């Protein structure tokens, strides 16, 4: 009988976890940096200032995925979605998507209200609902209110123009 492999030592395990954590932070800082650059570019183009504290909700929105990524990867390994999808996998993933959306929305809305001051005329609960679920296709199809009214595209003279 072949010998069973020994469990990794505690220091080696902690070093591996720290390295993986650093990699995750680096990976999720890329879209966060692009979002910050987009905010600054938009401000420069429009001639408006961007207070540095406005970056906190944007960075928090992306960095919340650092602790969520290992959980999502474990769920994907344990309950893979294949074709045809297994009911057990769908039962696990559907609430997981909703929970991740709500957590992301809570972090973003909370950071916006605490750091930036939040949209003054919108109650926190309504704002949380919008940022948590409005981006989900199911949220859009269920009539989740958007911050902007929908626009129609019409064709006039062969060119696409925005209608009222």
The DSSP line for 2-41 is PPPPPPPPHHHHHHHHHHHHHHHHHHHHHHHHHHHHHHHH
Q: Identify the helix (H) or strand (E) that includes residue 147.
A: none
The token pair at 149 is 């009214």
Query: How confident is the model at residue 120, as a pLDDT?
Result: 59
Average pLDDT (27-56) is 87
Residue from 53, 23, 26 nearest 116 by CA: 53
For residue 135, give both structure tokens: 């981006």
H-run or E-run covering 153: strand 153-156
pLDDT for the residue 95: 86
Alpha-carbon gap, residue 10 to 164, rounded angstroms? 63
- Quick check: 104 and 132 in contact, CB under 8 A? yes
Could you give the CA distance from residue 36 to residue 59 in angstroms, rounded to a whole number? 8
* Listed residue (69, 77, 79) closest to 104, CA to CA: 69
> 44-92, pLDDT tens digit by residue?
898 888 777 888 888 888 888 999 889 888 888 888 888 887 888 888 8
pTM exceeds 0.85: no
- Pairing of the two strands 159-162 and 153-156: antiparallel
Q: How confident is the model at residue 7 (pLDDT cuts 50, 70, 90)?
A: low
What are the tens digits of pLDDT across the range 81-133? 888 878 888 888 888 888 888 888 888 888 887 877 655 567 777 777 776 66
């Amino acid at each position: 009988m072949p010998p069973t492999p020994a469990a990794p030592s505690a220091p080696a395990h902690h070093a591996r976890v720290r390295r993986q954590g650093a990699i995750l932070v680096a990976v999720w800082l890329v879209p966060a940096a692009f979002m910050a650059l987009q905010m600054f570019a938009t401000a420069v183009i429009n001639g408006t200032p961007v207070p540095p504290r406005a970056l906190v909700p944007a960075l928090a929105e992306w960095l919340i995925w650092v602790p969520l990524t290992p959980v999502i990867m474990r769920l994907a390994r344990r309950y893979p979605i294949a074709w045809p999808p297994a009911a057990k996998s769908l039962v696990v993933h559907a609430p997981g998507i909703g929970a991740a959306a709500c957590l992301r929305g809570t972090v973003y809305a909370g950071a916006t209200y605490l750091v930036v001051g939040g949209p003054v005329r919108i109650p926190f609960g309504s704002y949380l609902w919008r940022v948590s679920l409005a981006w989900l296709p199911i949220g859009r199809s269920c009539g989740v209110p958007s911050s902007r009214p929908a626009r129609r595209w019409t064709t006039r003279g062969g060119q696409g123009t925005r209608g009222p």
